[in-house]
Structure 1
């Protein structure tokens, strides 16, 4: 099982291809299987590196008490250093997109792309209400149990990223059908740390002026308005490319793999 020590964790990763390095980051509660097969056509031009992020998949639990998006970005930088990948391109889905943005502002990659990503700052009144989510968990946790509150919020999250009402559940199920259950499930404590990292993303500060790498921001046709709004904001603020993925929801690379691979190839060929 290929692992490498990076930033205090034995990180599981898979790599294929030869050429400029491209890191492919999965979303919250997922793992590298979401990218492993779907992005394989890019290996004819690029060295693809597909890690399981801290707490996920075959990387598994770590002894850190708390996680954050900034910590995940540090992990990506450390993994790149450990694999002798200088200024790789970083492509991230959902949480991986958050990480790609923070990484771009702090570590100057060769390029970066987000799929279903968001920026930390609220861009609407509704998003400001959402920023109080950690306080909601803290308030209701002692009354009905923190795990029960977080479980309910995860159900909401599973549906909230797709206007068709499908969320990412069906797409993830298709991945599991192909690969079975050979990856360890996330523990309750790791899930707590992950939930806190996602909820506290609102506290992260991104210096957009420090981002010099070319960028591309993609979202599925059926993403909810919030995700579309954030993709447009990033593309405008960073002078990046903006692409809409037809007939796709939040897990767009599963819904429309050929389009996603083609869009990423077009972007990477021009950026690297």
Structure 2
């Protein structure tokens, strides 16, 4: 109950802040190849690309944006098919595709390189950028992000892989209603979810430790003490493999760190991104 009340308060504060603050967001759209990406910008300073997790949109960062906007030019997009961004039904949804979208968004904004912070799916597409476009990233943070689908506990994704579960899971029901209301693909929530599962969740991420060892970008791997999808060992292995990797375990947190421990997460993000090389 306490966490639910805190989350409601954080969301309310964000709404008020985003209406009256000098750092409030500016809604923008960018045409990128076959789709239109919706994103919001907040604050000023070094660019920070803030990548949300699967099925949600940029508003999952309501507990982070007001704080981060005091220090950075925060760019918070909706991933293709998510939120207010459009989709191309002819293309599979994958972390590699998402990463390509982010590079092209940076091109559109004439940003040579940016900090990248990604939670869950956002962290997976961040890793793709780190592997294939390392010069575009200044520093990177992954939050609750596995490097390979084999990292997941047996059965961890079962509740995500069936329509009956989608219809009964309160989180899915909530985001489904929102998606059907704001998405350019009106009423297409179930179809979108099927495509996300088939294109990404059942096949990716598919990196190896040998691949992550080639990511020289300074990278902070953050995991919750009580992460329920995969074991702490895998986050530790990835951070050790990276030449400039660091690991942070946040106490009393699960996969949903941005909601559960926002103050600890915000401190970690700011401290790491402002750390001098």
Does TM, scored on the shorter chain, surpass 0.5?
yes
How far did residue 101 of structure 1 move? 0.9
What do you get for the CA RMSD once the two structures are aligned? 3.3
How far did residue 254 of structure 1 move? 0.9
Question: How many equivalent pairs are there?
Answer: 241
* Structure-2 separation of matches of 1:36 and 1:193: 27
SS of residue matched to 1:85: coil
TM-score, normalization: structure 1? 0.77
Q: Does the alignment pair 1:218 with 2:222?
A: yes
TM-score, normalization: structure 2? 0.75
SS of residue matched to 1:14: strand
Unaligned runs of 5+ in 2: 1-26
SS of residue matched to 1:66: coil
Match of 1:190 in 2: 192
Q: Is the 8 A contact 2:180 2:189 kept in 1?
A: no
* Structure-1 separation of matches of 2:127 and 2:54: 15
Match of 1:265 in 2: 270
Q: Does the alignment pair 1:151 with 2:154?
A: no
Q: Does the alignment pair 1:79 with 2:91?
A: no
* Structure-2 separation of matches of 1:192 and 1:211: 31
* Structure-2 separation of matches of 1:17 and 1:85: 15
* Structure-1 separation of matches of 2:68 and 2:201: 29
How far did residue 35 of structure 1 move? 1.2
Q: Does the alignment pair 1:234 with 2:203?
A: no
SS of residue matched to 2:49: strand
Instruction: Using CA pairs under 8 Å that are at least 6 residues apart, name the structure with larger relative contact order, 1 or 2.
Output: 1
* Structure-2 separation of matches of 1:191 and 1:180: 11
SS of residue matched to 2:202: helix
* Structure-1 separation of matches of 2:64 and 2:119: 13
The structure 2 residue matched to 1:200, chosen from 194, 199, 203, is 203
Q: Is the 8 A contact 1:90 1:111 kept in 2?
A: yes
Match of 1:120 in 2: 148
* Structure-2 separation of matches of 1:222 and 1:130: 14
Q: Is the 8 A contact 1:216 1:240 kept in 2?
A: yes
Unaligned runs of 5+ in 1: 134-147, 159-167
CA change 1:202–1:249 in 2 (3 A) is closer
